[in-house]
Structure 1
């Protein structure tokens, strides 16, 4: 950047980080794995309708052209969608993958056309190739009726010869319907036992799961399944087998997700070695052949480390990455992970445990603009009601070529993450840079209920959703204003999904914010909890709010749609029309309650979008509309973006 610093009001700084640039860099590599000695992974393609493709590590190129979309819809949030193997060194790889459009499992050898292995109807996740058996073992989900909760899930075997492509009866079920939810089976090294996780309504997997072990019978089914760990108040997030046939799992029985081997803690610490199981097949640890264990761990931010289970020694990988996703794979002495930092977007990282060298090997970060424009975040802890700690990332306005006039305080937007059982990672996000480089601050709040800070912090939201999250976000916003960091009159809030709920509840329940952006939200608890969402979260509200039959008034008191008469601040509402998790009817009902109240707002809908936006054109429109809202409400001059018409 040049040495000339121009004085302009906050929010009006010109920036080369436009919405198209932010959209092009949205998403991250996700499902990593080894095919023989070679690492493969999935990557997003926002410019290709938001599809996810499979990338081969040796070429770093997509092996599947559009429209192939490697993504599962099991439990709607999906799970591990592919697996691969080679029969011998140098042999051509054999892969299987789930295609998003029809959810069928396909067999694929590079250079050939994918061939279906399963019939239309069932959905699959966590495929595990067992060539010796001629099968793929996986989680099978299929409807049993018309309602969103009319669904069954079992472990199943798919024949590799294609005989089940049009014949549902050729899919072999490995287990009965003992549990509502299951994860994919992990076979012991000798092939005689399998381990998996299971749980039932109304629990979510971060509330309590069971670790099951069954024997592989002569007929290839799983016999005598027994619970060996876990329960209603113990969440086991992942299970694996060590090379010598011992069970390795992550449990939060101590109040933190720590590692256990056959029930014995390996590295007891007040930090997390796992997280919330939102997608089947997420991996926070991976055992190595030499007995060491690769782990993603931390308190708040996560590191990639190597744990010696005998001594308890834990050594973190050196490198620029300060945050790692729950995506690990190990082969020999090599570990593949997905890491990022406040200066780098998520990229595929390989760690050679023999040499200690870590390097980026895929989706490598390249600066699309001068990195001097990137945000410079601060990790802070604020004080909430009752003196409780509230964790947040503060991104002040930042542009090396611009400054604000003396005495002006900047506008700030509070970002409420989704979940709500989740966490905002501290990584480079060009959507944040889109605002900070224009002179608008961002405060990401990991409110009570967020993960990464132990079970007690996570449990703060039990029956307190719409209270604790709203209070914690407000506490951060007001603290920034009181200390002179933010302009008290120019505070906004935004969020998507559960964050959309928090944003809407904040606008109807407080007077902290001048406006807000609400994306694919939950707005009506009673409707959402009685058939308007998918099966996985259909009883989530029993822990977040309480049982509907016992506290119906609480559902009404906290729902923004029921409190619409309190809303006075302008807002932007964004919704995907194909969303089955937070369907458009939630927004429509909310807007109907506002009819005649003359609250300025805009409602933008996007066909072809589900829960969370994946298409580049959608993300561009959404970001520009959000900035246009703030420009109108905060009185900022922002050239180059389309006008946003606010109706009353």
Structure 2
């Protein structure tokens, strides 16, 4: 039995506390002696990442380290693979990991009675600078762990060097930086951890340097490992300035397996490391207009993994990534059975089993194991549990819209949905356009309780994978080259307008929201004279608002020259930097907005918001600014997420003329 009630007023069991408690997903999955290990979010424990362990015989997963241990690092600020392990003949596995609070590398033997983590690397004088480590490989036979070292050499975020380093497992470097062996010379600005060949004689890794981002161009470097553990004969095996290789692995026979977008799509290749000609000499393993990888946002992400018998477990797809098993000899690709439609970039292999992290529009991310011999898939850990009746979940639509010049725009549409409420006849629903972060990223089609929070109350959501998004080939993502603030804004507007014109959404109750690069798109949309009057309000979360400030030292090293491809070199286009920046277009602000910011954010720092507000206050536009202490780029604490989500709903309620008594009223000032 359904009851009529205006859109936006519907009651919902999905409150902000429930949404916050289930934010995040398992990450950085790996196998050690048949056991599975990964990190898992703990929003209600201050946002720490717990290290989880699932025994080889399966059963229940357990947290390996109690609070306050936080298995996470800040390499390139977005972090990277924070742990690695190796089996031992006695005493159980040896684990190494990075602890977020001090960024040190630690070792732990969790099966030894009374064992406590012991530091392997020096303590930096400044916790958020100094030395950072990630993407480790434990080499017991050498008594070392090899990893990426990020070392700050001065106070500026760009005064930094990165290299491959060997850290002694005996702890002798914990108080002596000179005990860390430097394996590379630091000439590359960015690099991944080493991948060691099966015979232990060669290493391969990925490197790139400014101004390229890793989805623009990377190099695959290889080297021989001497008996003394030095890297010699360093060479470039593949890649180039216009070729992105986001992952490389060794096959059992010593060949290199890599993902490259040489064809315009990230496909898999097999390469003899001694062959001349780089990727051009490689053999494509499954040539398709699909993506078999994505951009490196976190060092150590893994889209494919070789299996012992020569097969390759790989993610692939167009606009989504699913798990398949590839026969590299025949090119045959067989997908894993099951309801999962999106797999995260993390895979673990143990014998004939491959394990990943997968979700669907009806289930959150869970850890799924595929038995490649039997073809059976099953959830082995972090199972999805319906926190409310699934009837309250949204029923999304995959759609393609037409933008300027007839270009195709990909989006996921989540109409309002409630098992016991319908709107009065003739009423159209409000919609919020969501712009994802990155911007060289995409929004996956999975169950997101934050989206369900709105749709179950009668507010629709449109997630736009605007031009520049990954998942649709290199040409699609390069639509944003020098067009950031144009193409993304136009594409979001085209989706919003189409929804209104076709009668799906209420033209007078459209909003836009986004975080990080999505916050930029949201703010750029609200300050665009071309789209004045399209949106009734907007939510802007830890955004970029002043391009020149961001380009001249107000962000971290990884993205410090990102704008050269997104906008163009500052020296060549200074006017463009000013004209597109929302901070210089506040005269076009005319609708209410909510600005949310973490005070510890070094990627999009608070100064950007403060500068924008100084200009916006002259416009006397109703707005609210909420800054959160202890939060960085991406909110992790439950209390932060609760307040942010309720404030956003209150903004929409006030703007759209919706009465709700179940949330605090957001104070909007002029």
Whether TM-score is above 0.5 comes out as: yes
1:615 corresponds to 2:660:
no
Aligned to 2:575, what secondary structure does the other structure show?
helix
Which aligned pairs between 1:57-96 and structure 2 lie closer than 5 A?
Answer: 57-58=54-55, 59-88=60-89, 91-96=91-96
Question: What's the secondary structure of 2:391's corresponding residue?
Answer: helix
Task: Say which of 103, 110, 117 aligns to 2:120.
Answer: 117
Range moving further from structure 2, 325-334 or 382-391: 325-334
In structure 1, the partner of 2:33 is 36
- 1:465 pairs with one of 462, 465, 484: 484
Instruction: Find 2:651's aligned residue among 605, 618, 629.
Output: 629
Match of 1:162 among 155, 171, 187: 171
Give matches, 1:557-636, under 5 Å: 557-636=579-658
C-alpha distance in 2 between matches for 1:61 and 1:412: 41
The answer to whether 1:128 aligns with 2:137 is yes
Alignment partners' CA distance in 1, 2:418 and 2:566? 40
Q: For residues 387-414 of structure 1, what are the alpha-carbon distances to aligned partners after superposition, in whole Å with 9 as ceiling and x for unaligned?
A: 0000000000000110000000000000
Equivalent-residue separation in structure 2 for 1:467 and 1:167 (angstroms): 51
Measure, in 2, the Cα distance between the counterparts of 1:593 and 1:423: 31
Q: Indicate the SS of the match to 2:309.
A: coil
Alignment equivalent of 2:662, drawn from 640, 643, 648? 640
CA distance, structure 1, for counterparts of residue 261 and residue 197 of structure 2: 23
Distance 1:604 1:369 in 2: 29
2:411 corresponds to 1:410: no
CA distance in structure 2 between the partners assigned to 1:275 and 1:143 by the alignment: 28
Deviations 1:511-552 (A, max 9, x none): 210000000000000000100000000000000000000000
Q: Is residue 2:119 matched to residue 1:100?
A: no
SS at match of 2:185: coil
Q: How many aligned positions are there?
A: 644
How is 1:310-325 mapped onto 2 (pairs within 5 angstroms)?
310-325=329-344
Contact persistence 1:173–1:221 (CA under 8 A):
no
Residue 467 of structure 2: aligned partner = 448
- 1:181-260 aligned at under 5 Å gives the runs 181-260=190-269
For residues 92 and 185 of structure 2, what CA distance do their matches in structure 1 show? 36
Extract unaligned runs of 5+ from structure 1.
Answer: none
SS in structure 2 opposite 1:596?
helix
The equivalent of 1:144 in structure 2 is: 153
Task: List aligned pairs for 1:303-314, cutoff 5 A.
Answer: 303-314=322-333
Can you list the C-alpha shifts for 1:92-135, whole angstroms capped at 9, x where unaligned? 12101000011100101115111110012310000100000000
| CA apart distance, 1:273 | 0.3
Moved over 4 A (4+): none
Contact 1:42 1:52 in 2 (8 A): yes
The 8 Å contact of residues 197 and 203 in structure 2, kept in 1 or not, is answered as yes
The match for 1:542 is 564
Q: CA deviation at 1:274?
A: 0.4
Gaps of 5+ in 2: 125-130, 272-281
2:394 maps to: 375
Aligned equivalent of 1:387, options 406, 423, 430: 406
Conservation of the 8 A alpha-carbon contact between 1:55 and 1:61: yes
Corresponding residue number in structure 2 for 1:20: 17
TM-score between the two structures when normalised by the length of structure 1: 0.99
Matched, 1:295 2:304: no
- 1:263-316 Cα shifts (integer Å, max 9, x gaps): 110000000000010000000000001000000110001110000000100000
Q: Distance in 1 between matches of 2:356 and 2:617?
A: 50
Residue 127 of structure 2 aligns with which residue? none
1: CA distance between counterparts of 2:54 and 2:448? 24
Cα shift at 1:347: 0.6
* Aligned counterparts of 1:348 and 1:144: Cα–Cα separation in 2: 40
Q: Return the alpha-carbon distance in structure 1 between the equivalents of residues 630 and 324 of structure 2.
A: 40
Q: Distance in 2 between matches of 1:266 and 1:68?
A: 42
Q: Describe how 1:254-293 pairs up with structure 2 within 5 A.
A: 254-262=263-271, 263-293=282-312
| Deviation (angstroms), 1:91 | 4.7
Contact kept, 8 Å, 1:257 with 1:454, in 2: the verdict is yes
1:330 alignment counterpart = 349
| Secondary structure, aligned partner of 2:247 | strand
Aligned counterparts of 1:499 and 1:104: Cα–Cα separation in 2: 32
Superposition deviation, residue 320 in structure 1: 1.1
Partners of 1:134 and 1:159 within 8 A in 2: yes
State the SS of the aligned residue for 1:578.
coil
How far residue 569 of structure 1 moved from its aligned partner, in angstroms, is: 1.0
Are the counterparts in 1 of residues 586 and 619 from structure 2 also a CA contact under 8 Å? Answer: no
**Is the contact made by 2:86 and 2:139 (CA closer than 8 Å) also made in structure 1?**
no
1:72 Cα offset (Å): 1.2
Please say if 1:424 is aligned against 2:468: no
Asked if structure 1 preserves the Cα contact closer than 8 Å seen for 2:218 and 2:245, the reply is yes
User: How far apart are 1:595 and its partner, in Å?
Assistant: 2.4
Whole-angstrom CA distance in 2 between matches of 1:595 and 1:633:
19
Kept in 2: contact 1:302–1:322 (CA 8 A): yes
The separation in 1 between residues aligned to 2:238 and 2:87, in whole angstroms, is 34
Shift of 1:594: 1.5
Within 2, Cα distance between the matches of 1:596 and 1:291? 65
Q: The residue matched to 1:236 in structure 2 has which SS?
A: coil
**SS at structure 1 position matched to 2:27:** coil
RMSD: 0.8
Q: Deviations over 1:447-481 (max 9, x none)?
A: 00000000000000000000000000000000000
Q: CA deviation at 1:57?
A: 1.0
1:588 counterpart SS class: helix
Are 2:578 and 1:556 aligned? yes
Q: What's the CA shift for 1:26?
A: 0.5
Q: Hey, what does 2:277 align to over in structure 1? A: none
